[in-house]
Chain A
Amino acid sequence: MRIIDLLPKRVWEKVRDAGIDGYMVVIGAIIVVFFIFIAVFADFISPYDPISPAGPAVTPPSPEYPLGTDSIGRDVLSRLIYGTRTIMMVIIISTLLSMAIGIPLGLISGYVGGKIDRVLSIIMDSIYAFPGLILAIAVAAVLGPGTYNTSISLAVVYIPTYFRMIRGHVLSLRESLFIEAARAIGAKSSRIILKYILPNTLFIVTVVFSLNVADAVLTEAGLSFLGLSVVSPTPDWGFDLKNGQRYFLSGYWWPVTFPGLAIILLALGFGLLGEGLNSILGGGERT
């Protein structure tokens, strides 16, 4: 049973046939799965405990400390590995929150229209108008640090995106013949939204998700860089980045570089996956 068999067959066929976009999706997926793997099996992979010092401070990369140690002597590699968990958790929780709020609101707003739609749209557009990081900072400043609070801060930033994309798609779907047919059968609005509209918006959700997550990685890194994310000593890439930068000019490049590379790589992975999927699936269903 190959992993490929688990994917919906149609998606896999499209990926396989899609040329460059297909490669993007596959490479992106590999990167993301790689990081998920690390996050899940951190306990088994990590050579040292990320919180307590493992050796002398700022030692360069060596066989003993493959990526060196940071300012307090903690192993950089171990911190990176456990840091994956942190960022993954924040990303996942915040994304689930964004979807849980943004999607239903988008569905209702798009299908029902009227005053509800106008009010919600104005609220969402206002939130959307803020640059993501600024908004996240503002919310994080109010809520304070911590994994769950950070997740909420991030969620707020991305709710409008889900809302708008879903709402837009619902607006066009609403005029479809099969929706009118559903009304003609006698279906209530709630049933139409749940059984007729929602399933047809799921692929949009996938696309929005994969595009957003790349952005979320960077926003989270930004928050933690500013110290607004998780509480020390929780391993966190952005936090390590900030700590490490003090030593960079003195020639200690590894406390900064490796967390930075990790952030870029994860963002890249999600980005490739998202862009690739977007081109393939979003290109329209062609029969």
Chain B
Amino acid sequence: MILEVTNLKKYFPVAKTFIERLFSREEKFVKAVDGISFTIDKGEIFSLVGESGSGKTTTGKLVLRLIDPTDGKIVFDGTDITYLKGEELRKLRRYMQIIYQDPYASLNPRMKVGEAIMDPLIIHDLASRDEAKSMVYEMLEKVGLTPPEYFYNVYPRNLSGGQRQRVVIARAMITKPKFVVADEPVSMIDVSLRASILDLMLKFREELNLSYLFITHDLAVAKYISDKIAIMYLGKIVEMGPTAEIFRNPLHPYTKALLSAIPVPSPRKKKERIKLVGEIPSAIDIPSGCRFHTRCPNKMKRCEAEEPELIKVSKEHFVACHIYSV
């Protein structure tokens, strides 16, 4: 196991207006992540799937300790990093990296590509300048930015989106991390280039026995790349299991609705769509009981009052829904 997350929570306080502060003592929170637990094994690609507002990006940042959790436990490669700070945390960062969605914004515009990729090596004192330079050249070749002599000296602004994302990947992989959080890594990349980026990520998984937390709203991409999938809704995991199993046998009504809503490039028009009413509620005002009940086509009385637990339904398949609880 490379990562074990238990009951992780992150609440963001909401700024109150002047009047609210005068008349009410109650604090309001955006419950971005409201108690999730999962594990990721070595060499596993674990996808966190959800719509915007589901809490998946916040989870990614929590797991890397880029933000502090409100509650819960995060154990990385055997070390409890939940409250780790300072130098100790900084040193661990060579083993856990992040790839962001926006390749334009995540690179320092004033740093040449070669310097950017070399930086982690210098920061963590992993190589001398000369050694580092040859390691960067090697890495440039690996990610397909050839000739390396050219790309080493170029600035990010002269590269296309796909090329910049390769630079980001190169920078993330150069310290041979054990775990990488990829937050929508191909959403801003042209469709015709996505496969090459995804395949690059898979290649590194092979080479380094790397684990990924792959965050996306695109179930089709998640299906292509992941071993395990967890579906998030409004800060909680509603279903989790091996990819094939989730697609073959989706249990939670939300999962089923998501799957049926994905556009399929197929000439034959579709199977029945599961229609949901309404829209995602605000994370400040989470519905009582099962937070999905306001939109659920299978809602029962129990769902309005009681929040379902994530229970094991089969070997590795978990779901949080009263339909399946005894």
Contacts and interface: CB of A to CB of B under 8 A. Distances in A.
A151 to B, nearest CB: 30
A88 B258 CA distance: 70
Interface stretch (A55-63, A194-202, A261-269): A194-202
Interface stretch (A22-30, A76-84, A90-98, A183-191): A183-191
A152 to B, nearest CB: 32
13 contacts: A177-B102, A177-B106, A178-B106, A181-B98, A185-B97, A185-B171, A186-B91, A186-B124, A188-B123, A191-B123, A195-B119, A196-B111, A200-B110
Nearest to B174: A185
A31 B12 CA distance: 56
A285 to B, nearest CB: 8
A178 B98 contact: no
Contacts of A196: 108, 110-111
Given A185-B123, A287-B157, A199 B111 contact: yes
A184 B111 contact: no
**Closest 7 A-B residue pairs measured CB to CB?**
A186-B93, A199-B110, A177-B105, A181-B106, A184-B98, A185-B120, A177-B106
A186 B66 contact: no
Given A178-B105, A191-B123, A287-B157, A185 B110 contact: no
Contact of B66 (A183, A187, A191, A202): A183
Nearest to A179: B108
Interface in B21-68: 64, 66
Interface of B: 64, 66, 90-94, 97-98, 100, 102, 105-111, 119-120, 123-124, 157, 168, 171
Contacts of A202: 110
Nearest to A185: B120
Contact of B105 (A176, A185, A195, A199): A176
A227 to B, nearest CB: 45
Contacts of B124: 186
Contacts of A49: none
Contacts of B109: 178, 200, 285
A195 B66 contact: no
A61 B146 CA distance: 69
A201 B297 CA distance: 54
Contact of A186 (B94, B100, B106): B94
A205 to B, nearest CB: 13
B111 A187 contact: no
